[in-house]
Amino acid sequence: MTIENNLLMDVYNRLHAQYGDPRWWPAETPYEVIVGAVLTQNTAWGNVTMALANFGDKLSPEYVISIDHSTLAATIRPAGFFNQKAGYLQTVTHWFGQYEYDADTVSRLPPERVRSELLALKGIGRETADSILLYAFGFPSFVVDAYTMRLLSRLLIDAGKDYESVKAFFERHLPCKVKLFNEYHALIVLNAKAHCRKKPSCSGCPLIELCAQGQKTST
C-alpha cells in the first residue's frame, strides 16, 4: 500500500467509526435515484424530498415522458430551477428509455460508455453522472463534490485541482468497491455538514488529528 492508500483508508475508517453506515442514497428504485440526482443540483435535499413527494405514487419514467413540460415543472417546483430541471429530467429519461428503463441492462454495459452517454446529455454534469452511475446502476464511480474538494484542501492531500483528477485519485488509491465508494462519498457529506463547513466546527471532528485546519484550531 502507498501512503495515499493508507491515508484515504484512515480517513474513511475514522468517518465510518463516527457515523456508521450512512445507508445512502434514499430511493426506492434506480429511476428515483436518477430523478433525485438531477433535482438535487443547486438545492438542498429537503427541497428534493418535497419535489419527489409531489409525484405521489406516479414517479416512473413512463409517467415523466407522458406529461408535458409545464406539468412536470410544476411538480418539481420545490427543487428550484424547475423549468430547466424538467427539461433535464425528460432528456435523461429518454436516454434511459433506450434501455427499456431496465437498470440491469445498463449495469451490464461498460461504465465508460454509460458515463460518456450521460455526460452528452444536457443538464448532466460530472457529479450528477457519477451519482447516477454509482447509486442507480452500481458502477464503482467515485463522486466528487464541493465537500470533497474542501476536505482534501484541509487535509493537505494533493489529489489535483479539477474534478477528473480528484476522481481518478480516489479510484486509483482505494479498493474498487461499490459499497466503499458509496459510503465514502456519503460520509464526506455527513462530516461536512457536521464539522467541515465553510466556517469549520472542529470540536468533535473525527478527522481533527489529520487536519491542518483542525490542528490550528485546537492549538
User: Per residue in 21-37, pLDDT tens?
Assistant: 998 888 889 999 999 99
- Quote the pTM value: 0.94
| Spatial separation of the C-alpha atoms in residues 45 and 25, rounded to whole Å | 11
Digit-coded pLDDT (tens) for 66-78: 999 999 999 999 9
**4: its cell numbers:** 495515499
* Cell numbers placing 57: 405514487
CATH code reported for the domain at 3-23+143-218: 1.10.1670.10
Distance (Å, whole) CA 215 – CA 219: 6
* Cell numbers for 69: 413540460
The percent of residues in the chain predicted with pLDDT above 70, rounded, is 98
For residue 210, count CB atoms less than 10 angstroms from its CB and return exposed for 0-12, middle for 13-18, buried for 19 or more: middle
In order of 61, 99, 106, 141, the CA distances from 95 in angstroms are: 10, 8, 11, 19
How many Å apart are CA 99 and CA 117, to the nearest integer? 12
Can you give the residue ranges of every domain in the chain? 3-23+143-218, 30-136
Is residue 27 helix, strand or coil? coil
Domain 30-136: which CATH number of 1.10.340.30, 2.60.40.1930, 3.40.50.300, 3.40.190.10: 1.10.340.30
Q: What is the pLDDT of residues 126-169, one digit of tens each?
A: 999 999 999 999 999 999 999 999 999 999 999 999 999 999 99
pLDDT value of position 218: 60
